[in-house]
């Protein structure tokens, strides 16, 4: 009895995957550790040169007074919002309906911190200035995610961002940046990370998205804020005796890849254009503003899967490893460009999209 | 201007430290990773062969249906108590006044879970059956720490432990084991880890105490309990995309050292006896029941520090790296035996204690 291979199985076998840096395997850590001496002392419960140097480096990059390394963004962001709520004496925060805290954290913010979120904007569009100006509720803090991942990684105009920031400052609303993919948007905004962060009171950045590290996050802001965050980090169980496996790999891959974000962004635009030239396929956003976008197919998942599997086997190019069903009857997937894209021969990629277009055209007309 | 070196400085320079396995440096991780192939796939948000195999291995060792890997014991134990409290519809738990949750976690249990601890026994002694029988409060769960670290690593008689367990079962009180040092007490009790754990409903074990890993913990119990713990792990921000740096090192050092616990225990008894033969020094407990004990000096910290510094420089033996002031005017420190002890030449150790005794005798009579 042979089982039909899944889309993921066939995808995993392809030599040319368009997204990502490479396999998330143990070699990723081994490679990072090679550049550090074995005699380097571990951090100890948030203290020591190893962790403090990296925190100082990131505080400087983000243009903030102070920074704290966390094992996860989930932990860092709940804590950021908790501190702002406590300061403001107000348990309400506002964020997008598809905010990470709302859909990926098993309601930790509500269950552990008893914070009540106010959902701004609709699921399928960005929060805009109007949404902020016309909030019904008094809130302690507004969280903005740049880029907004769950809608393909969209960004507001920088002017709109500045206006939202100015309004929040005027009204005494704290502004927090979910900057999981902050470094990835620097090329589009043509602003430094520190310039973007200057619009926010607190900032979280991740090291395993575009940076491609193992795990880990930085939370940055004023010293009084980050010091308070360390107390909550201990309460959450995140003040580990040793965080260095994550810190060293974050440091190594930050240095390796932060300068490549412009390249990933250009490649994302190129790849999105390939999809947009195909029948019944489109990228969201139409022109990417970072290294990421979503690809939407008009055809349903069960029709797309055999097409993609055949394509992968025929061309060796792996486009996406999974498909989500969409409410409009089509399906979609997420693509984040990393080191892999540049290794695909141009002709191979071109050929793959030729084949995809032919197959989709045939399928649509059948 | 030269600064006087601290006790820690002089201790760190000694070639023969009596406690621990070695420096907590990056080499500890490098060594562990050497035995794993780079192509091994990362765990992904708590899933995948790498994490599941280790969880199964530990469930089996602890004699429990299921086990979950956590980044820290702080996270694992708060979650265990939360689950039992929710199940019992009762927000009270009982534990020792020097329980880790009470003194080392910035009140995470109270601040995040609103659980009210009932403190059993006095700070300077173990919880006994009588304490449990005569609790004033209805509690959801009793936490026992074996060995009780903050009083030198003491243990109740196994019969008393069995009686406490039987009483809790009879009364429907959940019994949780803080087994941060569980493997370290197996030689004294002459019971397997699974036999000891069979007295408890839930168990936490650590991998960076006697095992000497980087960080990480296992929480074990019935499947329904561990599945619920995974939801809370995500809420706490502990469900990292990759926990493998801790899992692989836990696995490696578990295999390397779990069989040495009997040796460490014998060495701890030997070292404690050395201290007990010195003037104005004593171990707590007088005869260790694991690889750890506390050493108490009758003389105050400011008198002991110069004595120890001189001793370290003279003999090359490092006894303790810090001293805590005690309320009785003396001072004390903690010692946990690991791989280092066996590497100290017997004559060197004997000589060090001869010198210590001479210095203490001289000082006491001065």
> Does the beta carbon of B80 lie under 8 angstroms from any beta carbon of chain A?
no
Distance to chain B for A236, nearest Cα, Å: 6
Q: Which of A100-104, A134-138, A313-317, B298-302 has the lowest average pLDDT? A: A134-138
- Give me the pLDDT at residue A137, please: 86
Question: pLDDT category, B297, cuts 50, 70, 90?
Answer: very high
Summarised one tens digit per residue, pLDDT across range B233-254 is 999 999 999 999 999 999 999 9
Q: Is the pLDDT assigned to residue B1 strictly greater than 80?
A: no
Retrieve residue B129's tokens.
Answer: 């059956």
Spans of all domains in chain A: 7-22+260-365, 43-241
Report d(CA A223, CA A201) in Å as an integer. 11
pLDDT computed for residue A366 by the predictor: 80
Cα separation values, A158 from A183, A193, A203, A351, B269, Å: 15, 13, 17, 37, 68
pLDDT of residue A249: 98
Backbone angles phi, psi at A323, to 5 degrees: -135, 135
Chain B residues with beta carbon closer than 8 angstroms to that of A27: 38-39
What would the two tokens of residue A280 be?
A: 């019944």
Q: Which residue is closest to B70 within chain A, CA to CA? A: A237
Which residue on chain B is closest to A77 by alpha carbon? Answer: B237
Strand, coil or helix: what is A244? helix
With an 8 Å Cβ cutoff, is A208 touching chain B? yes
Instruction: Quote the percentage of chain A above a pLDDT of 70.
Output: 99
Nearest residue of A to residue B245, measured between CA atoms: A245
Instruction: Report, at the CATH architecture level, how domain B7-24+260-365 is classified.
Output: Alpha-Beta Complex (3.90)
Return the CATH number of the domain spanning residue range B43-241: 3.40.640.10
**Measured at the alpha carbon of residue A241, what is the angle toward residues A236 and A242, in degrees to the nearest 5?**
110
Q: Is A36 on the interface with B (CB under 8 A)?
A: yes
Q: What rounded mean pLDDT belongs to chain A?
A: 97
Average pLDDT over every residue of B144-163 = 98
- Which fold, A7-22+260-365? 3.90.1150
Q: Give the residues across from A44 on adjacent strands.
A: A47
Residue B162 CA to residue B196 CA, distance in Å, equals: 9
Q: How many of the other CB atoms lie within 10 Å of CB of B65?
A: 13
Q: Tell me the shortest Cα–Cα distance from A208 to chain B, in angstroms.
A: 9
Tens digit of each residue's pLDDT (9 = 90 or more) over B171-211? 999 999 999 999 999 999 999 999 999 999 999 999 999 99
In chain B, alpha helices (H): 7-13, 26-34, 49-62, 73-88, 100-103, 108-113, 129-133, 158-171, 182-189, 193-197, 223-236, 244-257, 261-276, 301-315, 346-365
Interface check for B152 against chain A (CB to CB < 8 A): the answer is no
Q: Specify the pLDDT at position B137.
A: 86
In whole angstroms, give the CA distance from residue A173 to residue A135. 12
User: CB of A279 within 8 A of CB of A364?
Assistant: yes
Place of tokens 């500890």: B28
The phi, psi pair for A209, rounded to 5°, reads -90, -110
Which residue in the set B27, B105, B106 is minimally distant from A38, CB to CB?
B27
pLDDT digits (tens, 9 = 90+) for B106-140: 999 999 999 999 999 999 999 999 999 999 889 99
**Euclidean distance between the first and final Cα of chain B, in Å?**
31
Q: In angstroms, what separates the C-alpha of A282 from chain B's closest C-alpha?
A: 29
CA A49 – CA B38 distance, rounded (Å): 28
Helical (H) or strand (E) element with A73? helix A73-88
- Residue A136 binned pLDDT confidence (cut-offs 50, 70, 90): confident
Q: Where are the alpha helices (DSSP H) in A95-222?
A: 100-103, 108-113, 129-133, 158-171, 182-189, 193-197
| Segment A209-221 mean pLDDT | 98
Can you read off the two tokens belonging to residue A228? Answer: 């308070």
| Chain A residues 105-134 with CB within 8 Å of chain B | 105-108, 111-113
Which of A26, A73, A214 is facing B37, going by the closest CB pair?
Answer: A26
Q: Which residue of B has its CA nearest to A216?
A: B240
- Other CB atoms within a 10 A radius of the CB of residue B89 amount to 7
pLDDT at res. A364? 86
Answer yes or no: is pLDDT of B81 > 60.
yes
pLDDT digits (tens, 9 = 90+) for B26-37: 999 999 999 999
Task: Give the residue from A8, A12, A20, A26 with the most B CB atoms within 10 Å of its CB, the best one to mutate.
Answer: A26
C-beta atoms of A72 and B240 within 8 A: yes
Using the predicted structure, report yes or no on whether residue A127 has a pLDDT greater than 60: yes
A234 touches chain B (CB under 8 A): yes
Say whether pLDDT at B98 is over 60: yes
> B219 Cβ partners below 8 Å, 6+ apart?
B67, B68, B70, B76, B77, B79, B80, B202, B203, B204, B226, B229
Name every chain B residue with its beta carbon within 8 A of the beta carbon of A207: none
Read off the DSSP letter of residue B168: H
| Contact status, residue A330 vs residue A299, Cβ threshold 8 Å | yes
Summarize pLDDT for A273-296 with one digit per residue, the tens: 999 999 999 999 999 999 999 999
- For residue A280, is the peptide bond before it cis, meaning its omega torsion is within 30 degrees of 0? no
pTM: 0.97
Which of B344, B245, B343, B260 has its CA nearest to residue B31?
B245
Percent of chain B with pLDDT over 70: 99
Mean pLDDT of A177-204: 98
Distance CA A355, CA A310 (A): 10
Contact assignment for B24 to A41 by CB distance below 8 Å: yes
The sign one gets for the Cα dihedral A97, A101, A107, A109 is negative
Q: Is the pLDDT of residue A2 over 80?
A: no
Average pLDDT of A5-10?
97
Query: What one-character-per-residue DSSP string does B296-339 give?
Result: EESS-HHHHHHHHHHHHHHH-EE--S--EEPTTS-EEEEEEB-T
Quote the mean pLDDT of chain B: 97
**Chain B residue whose CA is closest to A106:** B235
> In A, which residues are within 8 Å of B242 by CB distance?
24, 208, 214-215
Give the rounded percent of residues in chain B with a pLDDT score beyond 90. Answer: 97
Quote the pLDDT of residue A1: 53
**Chain B nearest CA to A31, separation (Å):** 9
């Amino acid at each position: 009895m042979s089982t039909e291979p899944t889309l993921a199985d066939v995808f995993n076998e392809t030599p040319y995957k368009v997204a990502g840096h490479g396999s998330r395997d143990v070699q990723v850590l081994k490679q990072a550790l090679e550049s550090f001496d074995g005699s380097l002392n571990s951090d100890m419960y948030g203290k020591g040169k190893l962790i403090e140097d990296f925190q100082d480096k990131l505080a400087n990059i983000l243009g903030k007074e102070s920074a704290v390394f966390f094992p996860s963004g989930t932990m860092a962001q709940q804590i950021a919002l908790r501190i702002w709520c406590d300061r403001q004496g107000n348990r309400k925060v506002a964020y997008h309906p598809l905010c990470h805290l709302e859909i990926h954290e098993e309601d930790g913010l509500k269950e552990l911190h008893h914070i009540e979120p106010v959902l701004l904007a609709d699921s399928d569009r960005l929060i805009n200035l109007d949404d902020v100006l016309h909030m019904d509720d008094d809130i302690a803090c507004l969280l903005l995610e740049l880029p907004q991942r769950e809608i393909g990684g969209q960004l507001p105009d920088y002017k709109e961002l500045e206006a939202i920031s100015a309004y929040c400052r005027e009204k005494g609303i704290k502004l927090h940046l979910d900057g999981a993919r902050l470094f990835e948007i620097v090329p589009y905004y043509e602003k430094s990370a520190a310039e973007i962060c200057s619009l926010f009171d607190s900032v979280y950045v991740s090291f395993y998205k575009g940076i491609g590290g193992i795990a880990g996050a930085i939370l940055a802001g004023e010293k009084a804020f980050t010091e308070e965050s360390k107390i909550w980090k201990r309460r959450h169980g995140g003040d580990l005796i040793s965080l260095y496996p994550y810190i060293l790999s974050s440091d190594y891959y930050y240095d390796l890849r932060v300068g490549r974000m412009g390249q990933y962004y250009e490649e994302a635009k190129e790849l999105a254009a390939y999809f947009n030239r195909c029948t019944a396929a489109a990228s969201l956003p139409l022109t990417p503003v970072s290294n990421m976008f979503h690809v939407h197919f008009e055809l349903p998942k069960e029709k797309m899967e055999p097409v993609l599997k055949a394509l992968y086997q025929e061309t060796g190019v792996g486009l996406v490893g999974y498909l989500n069903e969409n409410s409009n009857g089509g399906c979609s997937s997420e693509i984040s460009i990393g080191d892999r894209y540049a290794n695909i021969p141009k002709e191979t990629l071109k050929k793959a999209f030729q084949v995809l277009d032919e197959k989709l055209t045939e399928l649509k007309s059948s």
